[in-house]
Chains A and B, each alone.
Chain A
């Protein structure tokens, strides 16, 4: 064993888990695919890029990065984790090729990926995800286009719009699935986190000052253009996400940033066959956890948005808790000390919950929006599988998500089903009765596509440990 604990993902959850465990005395390896810690939310600008507007998130990220540097945590960045097995062995491609770390405990803090509910034209160049837009803004200070429309749901809408305005860009409109009523209903819960609400209102003021039209209770009906995006058509929707009566509106734009919430990236816990349950509010199938983040697999813990969407504030706390629990389970933190540290963290999580739940509620998948997808619309963009083909596969006998994959190749492409999985499962669930019936993609390595070249490294034929011949 190279370490006492491996933490996968160096965002708010994973980094704090690693720090807490290291502080308690564990030898911790912290791996992340990016070249800086901080995750998506506290992503740092690319090296050498100066003069970007400083945000509260950038400051949080810098503080975290400094804390990791000062700690005993063995931080390994630019590591593409592709295999997790054993109890536990992690294989990752890094600058020096494939490397292996081993430890008796593992914390998965792998974050979330974005969900886009398909509509005609969503695969046109110029249409990108909301979270993808935050990467451009935070790491490179680049606006996604000259005249941008920001659409979908959740807090990223205003964050992205404000980010573009701050960079001097032009926002042609914000198209929010949620209506004014939805936001008003959420307001009391949001007010429990005055700082975050204030940040959001600050964004809103910026958006108001920029005279950006906001279309509440609207959805993008189509993205159009000859070779790339030229315009979008939006239409009113009801609270359930289905199109409602009302006039279409056309907006000229060269970049549409759209996202309909996030999906937990629970691939590691699925790969290790931990028990999962469907939780619509938390974004999909999430690992079954105890209060401290322990999964149903011994010495495997999970925290952060990858274990269910709860946002950055809870992710930090849940990370600390998981790190502490791992240290306790490793025998280096006695029970009374464990309770002494854990109890205030649990209380902090409870306090943050109303805000987190309100945000998660606004980002949760709306089934009626999925039901409205037209038969000819592509759902799996890697393999060009349409909604109609998914319906036909169900007719032909596909009753769960993995069988749908066999029948149609839906989810078999390079995104490994991340983009289409949640929507395809929702479509199938509407036929077979529930998301539980439809299931989820079986966890498979590699966790990300990896180049054979890098995987193999240099070798001689005689190095290959070829097993004994099969019987003749």
Chain B
């Protein structure tokens, strides 16, 4: 049989495209080399904040936040989303300047961030340090329980009749009359159109089509405490974006912020650097002093994809009719569902509500394949 659409890559981006394309009436298959949402989409810090989102993505992130907040309605399953206030803290004069500038830019882009004093920040978040000089305060914030993402999407996709192929690595794609043939260990899977949604693996995936799109791999370290009594009620970050901190309803506190560990897309996140882990933890405990008495239970690393301009790669693949790419979205967990839904709209022949991020801008002459299909 020939599917209307084959999505390669089962993270939030691929799974969302597959879900909405299927809802729009397409016959969809989703291929994932492992299980759904076990890479970035399942191991990220789950932060749904505007204060770490790139300015150009704010309009998308705001709409995506609304989607996460109503995940039960469109996804049908619980991902542990908590909507709460968010604070971005400044502890030094330099950070005050940085925060003032960055919050201003994000506000211009539509994020409802206001600047408040340290005393006001303590009123919003009683757990916060008394050393705060200035804080960005945003009521559109929150977090999800990222490790539940795969379970929720799995149920939703199966419920929508998507032919889910987990543990099915794709080795390559052949263009053929009327579409594409994807090589898998169990034979060829055929589809009229394809979406490549491989996160940091977008670079090798696009190479199947003769397109060279360099994707940088970030190795973000994360840490989580044991369950502890409540120490905070908001999402807390710092001015330069290198901290994300929140306490889950079951009591664990997740510490993130994108401190880099060691790894690459071939081996994954293979090693955490203890000095950076300690630095990240110090920053967290400086922000929320009561956290000091907790214990570190586990730390890990997740991969994040970044293009040359750190903006998404979402749109048609130049020179290959019927092939699309979706991924490399900065803070992609936050914005992913909305941006991927926009691509599904385009596939369904609807005008996307906001513009996509075509990759032509990222390709050097000669990077696109020669000769159109």
Contact = CB atoms under 8 A, between A and B. Distances in A.
Interface of A: 82-83, 85-86, 89, 91, 98, 100, 273, 396-400, 402-403, 405-407, 409, 412-414, 416, 442, 444-446, 449-453, 455-456, 459, 461, 463-472
B13 interface: no
B225, B281, B298, most chain A CB atoms within 10 A: B298
Q: 9 shortest A-B CB distances, which residue pairs? A: A469-B240, A470-B241, A406-B147, A449-B295, A83-B274, A91-B274, A471-B310, A85-B271, A453-B292
25 contacts: A85-B272, A89-B274, A91-B274, A98-B278, A273-B267, A273-B270, A396-B154, A397-B35, A399-B167, A400-B35, A406-B38, A407-B148, A412-B298, A442-B300, A444-B298, A445-B298, A449-B295, A449-B296, A451-B293, A456-B292, A466-B279, A467-B242, A469-B241, A470-B242, A472-B54
Contacts of B166: 397, 399
A252 B279 CA distance: 53
Given A399-B167, A467-B258, 17 more contacts: A89-B274, A396-B154, A397-B150, A398-B35, A399-B166, A402-B38, A403-B38, A406-B148, A407-B151, A445-B272, A445-B277, A451-B293, A452-B295, A465-B275, A466-B238, A469-B239, A469-B242
Contacts of B240: 466, 468-470
Contacts, number: 138
A465 B259 CA distance: 10
Interface stretch (B176-184, B283-291, B354-362): B283-291
Contact of B242 (A83, A398, A466): A466
Contacts of B282: 456, 459, 463-464
B297 to A, nearest CB: 5
A31 to B, nearest CB: 15
B226 interface: yes
Contacts of B283: 464, 466
A161 to B, nearest CB: 35
Q: How large is the interface on B (under 10, 10 to 19, 20 to 34, 35 or more residues)?
A: 35 or more
A413 B226 contact: yes
A414 B295 contact: yes
Contacts of A403: 35, 38, 150
B229 interface: no
A412 B242 CA distance: 25
B297 A449 contact: yes
A456 B285 contact: yes
Contacts of B271: 85-86
B242 A456 contact: no
B270 A472 contact: no
B281 A406 contact: no
Interface in B50-74: 52, 54-55
B373 interface: no
A71 to B, nearest CB: 29
Given A403-B38, A406-B42, A470-B242, A83 B293 contact: no
Nearest to B241: A470
Contacts of A273: 267, 270
Interface string B216-251: 000000000111000000000011111000000010
Contacts of B92: 461
A416 B297 contact: yes
Contacts of B273: 85
A468 B91 CA distance: 16
A469 B131 contact: no
A456 to B, nearest CB: 5
A411 B283 CA distance: 27
B98 interface: yes
Interface string B118-131: 00000000000001
Contact of A406 (B52, B151, B242, B260): B151
B139 interface: no
Interface string B168-203: 000000000000000000000000000000000000
B294 interface: yes
Nearest to A459: B282
A464 B286 contact: yes
Nearest to B167: A399
Interface string B84-107: 000000011000001000100100
A465 B260 CA distance: 12
Contacts of B102: 472
B277 A83 contact: yes
Nearest to B280: A464
Nearest to B294: A452
B274 to A, nearest CB: 4
A273 B35 CA distance: 21
A36 to B, nearest CB: 24
Contacts of A446: 296-299
B330 A471 contact: yes
A440 to B, nearest CB: 15
A449 to B, nearest CB: 4
B370 interface: no
Contacts of B279: 464-466
A392 to B, nearest CB: 11
B241 A453 contact: no
A400 B92 CA distance: 46
B44 to A, nearest CB: 13
A98 B299 CA distance: 17
Given A85-B274, A406-B42, A466-B242, A472 B55 contact: yes
Contact of A471 (B54, B91, B297): B54
A442 B131 CA distance: 38
A275 to B, nearest CB: 14
Given A449-B296, A456-B282, A414 B226 contact: yes
B330 A450 contact: no
Nearest to A456: B282
A469 B98 contact: yes
B55, B267, B282, B310, most chain A CB atoms within 10 A: B282
Nearest to A393: B151
A472 B136 CA distance: 15
A470 B295 contact: no
Contact of B297 (A412, A459, A463): A412
Contact of B105 (A450, A453, A470, A472): A472
Given A85-B272, A396-B154, A464-B286, A452 B242 contact: no
B127 to A, nearest CB: 14
A376 to B, nearest CB: 21
B72 to A, nearest CB: 17
Contacts of B270: 273
Contacts of B298: 412, 416, 444-446
Contacts of A451: 293-296
Given A403-B35, A455-B278, A461-B131, A413 B297 contact: yes
A450 B224 CA distance: 11
